[in-house]
């Protein structure tokens, strides 16, 4: 954790995320009512409405902030749920092995190979619209990614000495999974959680953009749904879709930065390489195929 | 009369450039390989022997950098060459046989193609003529010429190592660097292969820089031997001299590690302790924490190289 | 062959699972799925046709097992029912026309993006610490963070509406008749550029990062060091030794990501009103055309499974080890 604090990427990622969390929590308190018609439809950004208004005359800034609240909550909840299910299935399959693993792997692979969007659509189309439906659909279609990596990690940990020792000393399987395996894949779980959250936010926005969410609810996805329904493109009202898309991308980017920082911490080689390249630059040597020769000291 | 030197390594220094500072893994190592000689470098893992082998060819990967010394080949300093000049040296002047035959061959193209690649690159011959030569090369190392069409995974470990040796011979370079060429193989295959290497060397007259942790193997094969400890050369001597009268306590320890196969004596003297962490080497002589004879000076200053006989050098404070 | 047969068996199981899922999902849902599904048909179909449509989905008074068998029979025969929104066209026919456009657009764009991304990844790994290696990854991570369809909207807004460089909707001008004429082909090409560019921009970074990472691993292998030790030119080592091997894991992950990428390109079609599967999907969702939704789910899934099998064949062709494994 302290190491994360010294990593530039991690700081950028955490900073952006913290900013969004604050905006989502407190922003709506200060902004206008996101659903009320406040001005002429599709008016461009102005002092009163810094991000302009929608086709229904709603304030885009207020909608973006309110959307952040729902979309981030859904995103992180779904991410957490996906990893929880992934951990349950992945560790069970990996730890027990045998036919349990065969079946588990088969189910994981089937869910992995099925294209997400049509599956989401077919489930969402039958359920009553709403955030819970969306969350449920995203969990069902996305858990297999986490399960796959967690299973692989479980397999490699299972034969490690400390797990073998616990097994030999007669500890209960459940206890081994909970006390030996899970704590030893903390960074993997963290990165699976981040990956699942990125996926969840993107897919949530996509589903609601298709009109499969509750379109009267303000989220980032419905914002884009209305933007495209109100012919924002045709009328040149770029401000109705640019802020939301930029927010989705910023959150995704911040999460990806955080993920790559975690990767780097788990992989000392990557870190070593950074120092090496910096040192070569100091000497004015370009890295190439051949081992560099630095015969003079550079202070 | 001693033959002229082919390769002269002078005060070679290799360091890892890490974010937390430099780690010296080869420290001012010097040795010479003359024409027609087999010179051995011995040492435990982590002593820097493989690093030296790859440094000569300038093929060490990040985060390694060569930070001092010279590597003269036929009088030319390889450390001053550009990429294009180095490519003309590699394969044609100095070739390499790496440690693990399992991973030394490209798994997705045939052996023939891998042999032809080098011939084509340096001599510009057609692929068909190249393939004909590849076939003869395989026969030279005792394989069926038809194996050119095989993929590496279709061969046994010993066969693969023969292919790697054939590859090293392809352009008839005057020097072959062999980094633990037989380590991954079982003892019988090891013997066979060493016999093959000795035979080819007698036939073709190239020089070999032979690197292994197995000192007994080296005593049989090499003309001269250097013993490395923690990145420094502890002792260098002609093979017979080294076997008969080792001067450095480390060399003596290593030789004491061998069970006498023919003698009745079963006195087995190991060396206590483990090699130092290269990030935090001990001050003075790097061997002193494990040395049974260390003097106060050993804790403070690195011992200088002392010439104790023809071609025989030792770095130890115990020597007068 | 054994490897491919095993893969084929897996795809068959996966296909069966998705067909079954399409049967189970409506029956698990709250309320009366049958009523929801067919509400839209009231007044359109006569009672006899209605009964036939119900049978297509297995709805009857028979026990569940029998319903399932009935439904399976229809799916295997390719009978996917009648579409509401394109009434009275059959779902199979509606999907067939959309499939052509999706295969053309997504197939082309994905292949292009994979090739480009892989080349960029090779270049970035090769020039470690170079500008491409420094700028590429963060830039593409940022690009990849934008929703696919949002990038589509942005490109459409900039190049279609604001600059007017590109047509803004459909696969070809309504004025041209589909024929093998230069005019028609030109129209198709100009209409495909922007949606294809969207897909390429959104996905190229992923392939690049993937290839770059596997290249890094492969560059550490002994056979690459030995290739250099033979004095081979950098180009030869890079392609014949490093990239040729890095391609194998990269192809595997290509197959795995295909479903994800396809989902993105369906959304892109929607933004561009491109008459492919994605466009049909939104039509189906908007008019609650359940037969069409289900048909699309099945065909798209089967298409992804088929594409994955092609990827497996390619893999076997590229990896001699997989070839001999399958021969034994």
User: Residues near B138 by Cβ (< 8 Å), separated by ≥ 6?
Assistant: B111, B115, B144, B145, B147, B148, B162, B163, B166
- Does a cis peptide bond (omega within 30 degrees of 0) precede residue B63? yes
Contact by Cβ (8 Å): B165, B101: no
Q: How many CB pairs under 8 A join A and C?
A: 157
Considering only the beta carbons, identify the residue of C14, C128, C144 that sits closest to A110: C14
Q: Which of B180, B158, B167 is nearest to B110 (CA)?
A: B167
Q: Which residues on chain A are in Cβ contact (under 8 Å) with C233?
A: none
Tell me what pLDDT residue A5 has: 66
Q: How many CB pairs under 8 A join A and B?
A: 57
Give chains near C: 3+ CB pairs under 8 A.
A, B
CA distance B19 to chain A (A): 4
Q: What is the pLDDT of residues B225-244, one digit of tens each?
A: 999 888 888 888 888 888 88
Tell me what pLDDT residue B114 has: 92
User: Residues near B155 by Cβ (< 8 Å), separated by ≥ 6?
Assistant: B111, B147, B163
CA distance B113 to chain C (A): 10
Tell me what pLDDT residue C246 has: 92
Chain B residues in contact with chain A using a Cβ-Cβ cutoff of 8 Å: 16-20, 54-55, 58-68, 79-80, 83, 86
Tell me: pLDDT of C325 over 70.
Answer: no
Give chains near B: 3+ CB pairs under 8 A.
A, C
Contact check, Cβ <8 Å, A256/C128: no
Confidence at C244, pLDDT banded by 50, 70, 90: very high
Q: Which residues on chain A are in Cβ contact (under 8 Å) with C17?
A: 110
Tell me: pLDDT of B311 over 70.
Answer: yes
Q: Which helix (H) or strand (E) holds C285?
A: helix C277-286
Tell me what pLDDT residue A4 has: 64
Query: What is the percent of chain C where pLDDT is above 70?
Result: 96
Contact check, Cβ <8 Å, B62/A276: yes
Average pLDDT value for residue range B234-255: 85
Q: Which of B82, B107, B137, B209 should be substituted to probe chain C, the one whose Cβ sees the most C Cβ atoms within 10 Å?
A: B107
Query: How far apart (Å, rounded) are the C-alpha atoms in residues B31 and B222?
Result: 14
Query: How far apart (Å, rounded) are the C-alpha atoms in residues C300 and A113?
Result: 11
Confidence at B261, pLDDT banded by 50, 70, 90: very low
Residue written as token pair 């992934």:
A86
Contact check, Cβ <8 Å, C227/B103: no
Query: How far apart (Å, rounded) are the C-alpha atoms in residues B161 and B141?
Result: 10
Q: Which residues on chain B are in Cβ contact (under 8 Å) with C220?
A: 61
Q: Which of A264, A270, A290, A294 should be substituted to probe chain B, the one whose Cβ sees the most B Cβ atoms within 10 Å?
A: A290
Tell me what pLDDT residue C223 has: 92
* Alpha carbon B85 to its chain's center: 23
Lowest model confidence (mean pLDDT) among A180-194, B259-273, C144-158: B259-273
Q: Which of B278, B226, B302, B228 is nearest to B63 (CA)?
A: B278
Average pLDDT value for residue range B3-9: 85
Contact check, Cβ <8 Å, C21/A119: yes
Tell me what pLDDT residue C61 has: 73
The residues facing B5 across adjacent strands are B34
Structure tokens at A196: 């699942």
Tell me: pLDDT of B175 over 90.
Answer: yes
By the CB < 8 Å criterion, does A3 face chain B? no
C9 → chain A, closest CA residue: A106
Q: Which residues on chain C are in Cβ contact (under 8 Å) with A118?
A: 263, 266, 281, 296-297, 300-301
Contact by Cβ (8 Å): C159, C166: yes
Sign, Cα dihedral of B55, B58, B63, B66: positive
Tell me what pLDDT residue B94 has: 92
Query: How far apart (Å, rounded) are the C-alpha atoms in residues C244 and C232?
Result: 15
B89 → chain C, closest CA residue: C231
- DSSP-derived secondary structure for C218-272: HHTSHHHHHHHHTT--HHHIIIIIIIHHHHHHHHHHHHHHHHHHHHHHHHHHHHT
CA distance C319 to chain B (A): 6
Q: Which of B134, B125, B312, B176 is nearest to B234 (CA)?
A: B312
Q: Which of B62, B92, B106, B161 should be substituted to probe chain C, the one whose Cβ sees the most C Cβ atoms within 10 Å?
A: B106
Task: Compare C56 and B164 and report the one with higher pLDDT.
Answer: B164
Give chains near A: 3+ CB pairs under 8 A.
B, C
In the DSSP assignment, the letter for residue B204 is H
Tell me what pLDDT residue C328 has: 37
Contact check, Cβ <8 Å, C229/B95: yes
Contact check, Cβ <8 Å, A127/C144: no
Contact check, Cβ <8 Å, A117/C154: no
Q: Which of C267, C142, C293 is nearest to A205 (CA)?
A: C267
Contact by Cβ (8 Å): A251, A193: no
Query: How far apart (Å, rounded) are the C-alpha atoms in residues C51 and C57?
Result: 10
Q: What is the pLDDT of residues C77-100, one digit of tens each?
A: 888 877 777 777 888 888 888 888
Q: What is the pLDDT of residues C32-75, one digit of tens each?
A: 767 777 777 777 777 777 777 777 777 777 778 888 888 888 88
By the CB < 8 Å criterion, does A280 face chain B? yes
Average pLDDT value for residue range B198-207: 88
Tell me what pLDDT residue A3 has: 64
Q: Which of A105, A122, A267 should be substituted to probe chain C, the one whose Cβ sees the most C Cβ atoms within 10 Å?
A: A122
Neighbours of A33 (CB within 10 A): 14
Task: Tell me whether strands B232-238 and B224-229 are parallel, antiparallel or unpaired.
Answer: antiparallel
Contact check, Cβ <8 Å, C229/B92: no
Q: Which residues on chain B are in Cβ contact (under 8 Å) with C239?
A: none
Return the half-sphere exposure (C-beta side, CA atoms, 13 A cut-off) of residue B213: 10
Q: Which residues on chain A are in Cβ contact (under 8 Å) with B61?
A: 291
Domains of chain C and any CATH numbers: 11-76 (no CATH), 91-286 (1.10.3720.10)
Contact check, Cβ <8 Å, A245/C161: no
Chain B residues in contact with chain C using a Cβ-Cβ cutoff of 8 Å: 54, 57, 59, 61-62, 83, 86-92, 95-96, 98-100, 103-109, 117-118, 121-122, 151, 153-154, 164, 167, 170
By the CB < 8 Å criterion, does A272 face chain B? yes
Q: Which of A103, A106, A116 is nearest to A142 (CA)?
A: A116
By the CB < 8 Å criterion, does A73 face chain B? no
Tell me what pLDDT residue C326 has: 45
Tell me: pLDDT of B262 over 90.
Answer: no
Contact check, Cβ <8 Å, A125/C10: no
Contact check, Cβ <8 Å, B83/A290: yes
By the CB < 8 Å criterion, does C119 face chain B? no
Degrees (nearest 5) of the Cα angle B157, B160, B161?
Answer: 90
The 3 state secondary structure assigned to A46-67 is CCCCCCCECCCCCEHHHHHHHH
| Averages of pLDDT over each 10 residues, chain A, 299 residues | 70 87 80 71 73 73 82 91 92 85 89 85 81 87 89 84 78 79 83 90 87 81 79 75 85 88 75 79 83 70
Sign, Cα dihedral of C121, C127, C132, C135: positive
Contact check, Cβ <8 Å, B17/A276: yes
Contact check, Cβ <8 Å, A210/C160: no
C16 → chain A, closest CA residue: A110
Q: Which of B13, B15, B18 should be substituted to probe chain A, the one whose Cβ sees the most A Cβ atoms within 10 Å?
A: B18
Query: Mean pLDDT over all residues of chain C?
Result: 83
Q: How many CB pairs under 8 A join B and C?
A: 90
- For helices C2-28 and C320-327, angle between their N-to-C axes, nearest 10 degrees: 90
Q: Which residues on chain B are in Cβ contact (under 8 Å) with C319?
A: 107-108
- Name the H helices within C29-130: 33-38, 47-56, 64-76, 91-126
Work out the end-to-end distance of chain C between its first and last CA atoms, rounded to an integer number of angstroms: 8
Task: Compare C76 and C239 and report the one with higher pLDDT.
Answer: C239
CA distance B135 to chain C (A): 18
Query: How far apart (Å, rounded) are the C-alpha atoms in residues B79 and B72?
Result: 8
Contact by Cβ (8 Å): B10, B31: no
Task: Tell me whether strands B38-42 and B224-229 are parallel, antiparallel or unpaired.
Answer: parallel
Considering only the beta carbons, identify the residue of C225, C236, C319 that sits closest to B108: C319
Measured in residues, chain C has a length of 328
Q: Which of A84, A33, A78 is nearest to A201 (CA)?
A: A78
C159 → chain A, closest CA residue: A233
């Amino acid at each position: 954790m302290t190491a994360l604090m010294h990593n530039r990427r991690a700081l950028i990622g955490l900073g952006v995320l913290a900013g969004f969390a604050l905006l989502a929590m407190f922003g709506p308190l200060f902004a206008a009512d996101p659903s009320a018609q406040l001005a002429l439809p599709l008016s461009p950004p102005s002092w009163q409405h810094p991000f302009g208004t929608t086709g229904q005359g709603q304030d885009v800034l207020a909608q973006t902030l309110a959307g952040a609240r729902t979309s981030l909550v859904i995103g992180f909840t779904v991410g957490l749920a996906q990893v929880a299910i992934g951990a349950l299935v992945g560790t069970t399959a990996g730890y027990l092995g045998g036919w349990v693993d065969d079946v588990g792997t088969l189910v994981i692979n089937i869910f992995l190979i099925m294209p997400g969007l049509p599956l989401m659509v077919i489930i969402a189309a039958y359920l009553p619209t709403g955030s819970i439906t969306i969350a449920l659909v995203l969990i069902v279609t996305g858990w297999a990614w986490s399960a796959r990596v967690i299973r692989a990690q479980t397999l490699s940990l299972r034969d490690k000495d400390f797990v073998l020792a616990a097994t030999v000393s007669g500890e209960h399987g459940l206890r081994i999974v909970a006390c030996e395996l899970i704590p030893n894949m903390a960074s993997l779980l963290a990165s699976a959680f981040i990956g699942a959250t990125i996926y969840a936010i993107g897919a949530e926005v996509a589903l609601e953009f298709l009109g499969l969410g509750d379109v009267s609810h303000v989220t980032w996805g419905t914002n884009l749904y209305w933007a495209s329904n109100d012919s924002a493109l045709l009328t040149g009202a770029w401000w109705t879709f640019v802020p939301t898309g930029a927010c989705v991308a910023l959150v995704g980017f911040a999460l990806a930065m955080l993920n790559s920082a975690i990767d780097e911490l788990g992989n000392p080689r990557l870190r070593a390489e950074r120092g090496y390249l910096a040192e070569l630059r100091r000497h004015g040597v370009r890295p190439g195929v051949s081992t560099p020769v630095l015969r003079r000291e550079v202070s | 009369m001693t033959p002229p030197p082919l390769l002269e390594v002078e005060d070679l220094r290799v360091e890892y450039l890490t974010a937390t500072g430099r780690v010296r893994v080869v420290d001012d190592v010097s040795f010479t390989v003359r024409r027609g000689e087999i010179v051995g470098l011995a040492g435990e893992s982590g002593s820097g022997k493989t690093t030296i082998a790859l440094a000569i060819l300038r093929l060490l990967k990040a985060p390694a950098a060569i930070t001092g010394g010279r590597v003269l080949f036929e009088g030319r300093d390889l450390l001053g060459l550009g990429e294009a000049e180095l490519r003309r040296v590699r394969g044609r002047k100095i070739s390499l046989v790496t440690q693990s035959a399992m991973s030394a061959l490209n798994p997705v193209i045939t052996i023939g193609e891998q042999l032809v690649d080098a011939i084509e690159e340096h001599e510009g011959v057609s692929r068909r003529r190249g393939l004909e030569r590849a076939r003869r090369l395989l026969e030279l190392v005792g394989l069926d010429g038809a194996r050119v069409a095989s993929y590496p995974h279709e061969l046994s470990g010993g066969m693969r190592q023969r292919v790697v040796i054939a590859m090293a011979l392809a352009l008839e370079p005057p020097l072959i660097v062999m980094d633990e060429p037989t380590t991954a193989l079982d003892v019988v295959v090891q013997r066979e292969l060493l016999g093959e290497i000795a035979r080819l060397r007698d036939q073709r007259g190239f020089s070999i820089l032979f690197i292994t942790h197995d000192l007994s193997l080296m005593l049989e094969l090499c003309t001269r031997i250097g013993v490395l400890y923690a990145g420094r050369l502890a002792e260098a001597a002609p093979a017979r001299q080294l076997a008969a009268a080792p001067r450095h306590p480390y060399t003596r320890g290593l030789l004491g590690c061998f069970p006498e196969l023919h003698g009745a004596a079963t006195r087995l003297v190991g060396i206590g302790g483990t090699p130092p962490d290269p990030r935090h080497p001990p001050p003075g002589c790097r061997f002193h924490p494990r040395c049974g004879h260390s003097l106060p000076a050993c804790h403070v200053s690195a011992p200088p190289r002392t010439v104790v006989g023809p071609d025989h050098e030792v770095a130890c404070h115990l020597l007068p | 062959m054994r490897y491919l047969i095993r893969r084929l068996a897996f795809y068959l199981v996966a296909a069966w699972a998705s067909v079954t899922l399409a049967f189970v999902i409506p029956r698990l849902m709250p309320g009366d799925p049958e009523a929801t599904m067919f509400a839209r048909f009231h007044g359109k179909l006569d009672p006899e046709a209605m009964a036939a449509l119900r049978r297509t989905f297995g709805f009857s008074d028979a026990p569940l097992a029998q319903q399932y068998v009935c439904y399976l029979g229809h799916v295997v025969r390719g009978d996917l029912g009648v579409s509401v929104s394109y009434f009275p066209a059959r779902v199979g026919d509606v999907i067939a026309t959309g499939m052509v456009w999706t295969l053309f657009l997504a197939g082309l764009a994905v292949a292009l993006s994979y090739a480009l991304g892989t080349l960029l990844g090779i270049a970035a790994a090769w020039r470690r610490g170079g500008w491409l290696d420094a700028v590429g990854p963060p830039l593409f991570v940022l690009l990849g963070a934008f929703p696919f369809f949002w990038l589509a909207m942005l490109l459409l807004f900039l190049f279609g509406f604001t600059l007017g460089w590109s047509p803004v909707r459909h696969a070809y001008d309504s004025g041209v008749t589909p024929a093998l004429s230069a005019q028609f082909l030109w129209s198709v090409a100009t209409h495909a550029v922007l949606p294809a560019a969207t897909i390429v921009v959104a996905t190229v970074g992923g392939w690049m990062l993937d290839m770059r990472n596997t290249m890094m691993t492969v560059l550490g292998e002994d056979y690459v060091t030995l290739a250099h030790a033979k004095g081979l030119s950098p180009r030869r080592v890079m392609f014949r030794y490093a990239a040729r091997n890095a391609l194998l894991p990269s192809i595997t992950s290509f197959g795995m990501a295909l479903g994800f990428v396809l989902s993105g390109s369906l959304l892109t079609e929607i933004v561009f009103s491109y008459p492919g599967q994605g466009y049909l999907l939104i039509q189906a969702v908007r008019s609650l055309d359940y037969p069409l939704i289900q048909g699309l789910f099945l065909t798209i899934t089967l298409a992804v499974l088929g594409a994955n099998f092609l990827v497996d064949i390619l893999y076997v062709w590229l990896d001699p080890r997989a070839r001999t494994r399958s021969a034994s």
